[in-house]
Amino acid sequence: MTTNLHISLRLNRADFQVELDLQLPAQGITVLYGHSGSGKTSVLRCVAGLERAVHAHIRLGDEVWQDDQANRFVPPHRRPIGYVFQEASLFEHLDVAGNLHYGRKRTRHADAAAMLQTAIDLLGIRQLLNRRVAQLSGGERQRVAIARALATMPRLLLLDEPLAALDGPRRREIMPWLEKLKTELDLPMLYVTHSTDELARLADYLVLLEQGKAKAAGPVHEMLSRLDVPISLGEDAGALIEGEVVERSIAWHLARIEFKVGSLWLRDEGCTVGRRVRLRVLARDVSLTTVAPAHTSIQNHLSCVVESIAPDTHPSQVLLRLQCGSATLLARITRRAQSDLGLQPGSRAWALVKSVALVS
């Protein structure tokens, strides 16, 4: 039987209210996404028990952490969670090993010591064990903080914008470690961010929060290609495609990624043939033609059907949702181009993909 994380709560403040009812998959990474003040961190704190909501029911599988109807509230230290904050919050008077063992002491689980060693290796911090906290970079601090949270043997890992305090290079440094945890640990994660790059790279399931309410929720591939929710708007509008590296051209420094109904060429980033990858295609990088493309420098062509059309953020433009077999793309074009090409829902066309980003 599939385990779910059920979050139903109402949190009242003088100037703010959070009210939602969510059934989330207890596997992979669920991202809570929204602008500052949308309620992301408040939801995370309620799940952790750091803040008590009213009229709440919070349950992971068959383990109930809060149920106001039954007058049940499990305090934070008794919830099997790991919590990673924006700031690493390490103990400055301890070295890395001391910080990690402090986390391990929070649990009596027989496998805690083995889990700690696994976390040390997965996060690549074994060479840091004897260092003082002051000697660590921002990215190293966060890796240690994540390992410390894992050392408690949590059933759920909560991450509250763990990359927000890092600069661009440090974010790029730590992202692969988060992907590695996702791939190699059977541990659900609830991840708060307002970064589209982080959700595109890490999310399996996405909850869009707006003014304390869940505007929409679903698998990330479906959510990012929807035209009826705010996340589809703006310069970051785009879709995700998962595929497999099937070919690398040494001569052209390109790699070909194959998915169910086609393939795309992109810059070779050194991925091995056979590796599963995630691609991000932005709407601004997709052009359309109603005739089979020829004699063009754009080499990625996909046959598609226009599924739906929606207004864009500027009145001169529209967003089109394209169905390319089982894959979905978005395209941003002008209203004039739509009129000239006669594009309507149901129209057949060719999508010309000018650029593809490898995100994981």
DSSP state of 108: -
How much is the CA Rg of the chain, to the nearest whole Å? Answer: 23
- SS3 category, 340: helix
Residue 356 · residue 264 · CB < 8 Å: yes
**pLDDT tens by residue, 19-54:** 999 999 989 999 999 888 889 999 999 999 999 888
Confidence band for 1, pLDDT divided at 50, 70 and 90: very low
CA nearest to 236, candidates 269, 192, 172, 280: 280
Q: 159-173 as b/e, with b when 16 or more CB fall inside 10 Å? A: bbbbbeebeeebbeb
Q: In CATH, which of 2.60.40.1120, 3.30.1330.10, 3.40.50.620, 3.40.50.300 is domain 4-232?
A: 3.40.50.300
Residue 360 · residue 179 · CB < 8 Å: yes
| Domain residue ranges in the chain | 4-232, 238-358
Provide the whole-model pTM: 0.89
Q: Residue 215 above 70 pLDDT? A: yes
**What is the pLDDT, as a whole number, of residue 16?**
81
Confidence band for 2, pLDDT divided at 50, 70 and 90: low
- Count CB atoms within 10 A of the CB of residue 331: 30
Q: Residue 6 above 90 pLDDT? A: yes
Max intra-chain CA distance, the chain? 70
User: Considering only 140-154, 207-221, 228-242, which range has the smallest mean pLDDT?
Assistant: 228-242
Residue that has been written with the tokens 């440094």 in this structure: 173
CA nearest to 290, candidates 278, 274, 276, 306: 306
Length of the chain: 360
| CATH number corresponding to 238-358 | 2.40.50.100
Helices (H) and strands (E) in the chain, counts: 8, 21
Residues 6+ apart with CB under 8 A from 353: 264, 281, 285, 286, 298, 300, 301, 302, 329
